[in-house]
Amino acid sequence: MTKPPSLDDYRVPYFSDKRAAKFSLDALDPSAKPFSTGTKEGDRDRLSVVSERIDVQQERLHAQRYERVLLVLQGMDTSGKDGTIRGVFHEVDPLGLRIVPFRAPNAIEAAHDFLWRVHRQVPAAGELTIFNRSHYEDVLVPRVMGQIDATEWERRYRQIREFEAMLTETGTTIIKCLLHISKDEQKGRIQARIDDPTKHWKFDLSDLEARKSWGAYQAAYRDALAATSTEYAPWYVIPANSKSHRNVMVAELLLRVLEGLKLEFPPAKEELKGVQVD
């Protein structure tokens, strides 16, 4: 009998663990589908079931107004960040959900430290917040562009660890996912966007520049993940060449975290007991 897949097998070793030094993205197959049911239809059904259970948890989160949950999504262009949000949260009540996209910093944002704009957007009590890109862009893009050196990116890794430690110590649960696709898969997806004029809004010619630096980005991701996967804010690598697998796996991961919080509705209010409305 094969051992069933475990989400923990896809967790990046913690920074404090010796194995972090040996962590390699290349060793993880982007085409793997460990959490797939085997068919697209099966995955869709499974996603629907998990999504409804997330919805149940999220209502309690919202009712309780105590826990805060942050899901960070990172990945190369076309890795499916938007698609994951749509797929996983399509059936979740929009009331307690907040999606925050981070683009290239504007002038005011760039005039502050790199965590400033991120801190303003962290979840409040009762919120499930999704970062579509995040503060991790600031240890990836400037590194690949040659704007910061190793001393600076190491310093930022530490700053990120300390920032995330503070967030978790003050009540936030953090889950971080790298949507892991292959260079070849990206090729097909970018070509499809180029060939469909209604998809041009998702793409700029300049995005091809990042693709030219594929190897440098993978190296930057590897280092960033190994340096910032912690017990309190772990990174998971999501094999994402298959969209239906990607959605199921992110949903299963989020559900496990939410159910782990043991969320309950707040206690009944004594003063409401037996009250008759006029």
The SS3 assignment for 128 reads strand
Selected from 5, 28, 34, 82, the binder of a second copy by CB under 8 A is 82
Q: Are 141 and 213 in contact (CB under 8 A)?
A: no
**Pair type for strands 235-239 and 128-132:** unpaired
Please state, in angstroms and rounded to a whole number, the distance separating the CA atoms of residues 50 and 275. 37
Q: Does 109 bind a second copy (CB under 8 A)?
A: no
Selected from 93, 109, 137, 154, the binder of a second copy by CB under 8 A is 93
Which CB sits closer to a second copy, 84 or 242? 84
Closest listed residue to residue 65, CA positions, set 118, 128, 119: 128
Which CB sits closer to a second copy, 150 or 205? 205
Edge to edge, the sheet with strand 97-101 lists 97-101, 128-132, 68-75, 172-180, 235-239
Report, in Å, the least distance between residue 202 CB and a second copy: 8
The tokens 């930022």 sit on which residue? 156
String marking each residue 116-155 x if it binds a second copy according to CB under 8 A: ----------------x-----------------------
Q: Distance between the two ends of the chain, CA-based, in angstroms?
A: 64
Q: Give the phi and the psi of residue 269 in degrees, each rounded to 5.
A: -90, 120
Which CB sits closer to a second copy, 61 or 249? 61
The tokens 């049911």 sit on which residue? 37
Q: Does 104 bind a second copy (CB under 8 A)?
A: no
Please state, in angstroms and rounded to a whole number, the distance separating the CA atoms of residues 20 and 208. 31
Which CB sits closer to a second copy, 42 or 266? 266
Please state, in angstroms and rounded to a whole number, the distance separating the CA atoms of residues 101 and 85. 11
List binders of a second copy among 246-275 (CB under 8 A): 265-269, 271-272, 275
Selected from 20, 25, 28, 97, the binder of a second copy by CB under 8 A is 97
String marking each residue 50-69 x if it binds a second copy according to CB under 8 A: -------------xxx----
For residue 270, CA distances in Å to 60, 253, 258, 259, 263 come to 19, 36, 28, 27, 20
List binders of a second copy among 186-245 (CB under 8 A): 187, 190-191, 194, 197-198, 200-205, 208, 211
Q: Does 86 bind a second copy (CB under 8 A)?
A: yes
For residue 20, CA distances in Å to 7, 29, 71, 231, 270 come to 17, 18, 22, 13, 51
Binding residues with a second copy: total (CB under 8 A)? 42
Report, in Å, the least distance between residue 209 CB and a second copy: 12
Please state, in angstroms and rounded to a whole number, the distance separating the CA atoms of residues 139 and 154. 9
Selected from 99, 115, 165, 216, the binder of a second copy by CB under 8 A is 99
Which positions touch a second copy (CB under 8 A)?
Answer: 63-65, 82, 85-86, 89-95, 97-99, 132, 187, 190-191, 194, 197-198, 200-205, 208, 211, 265-269, 271-272, 275-278
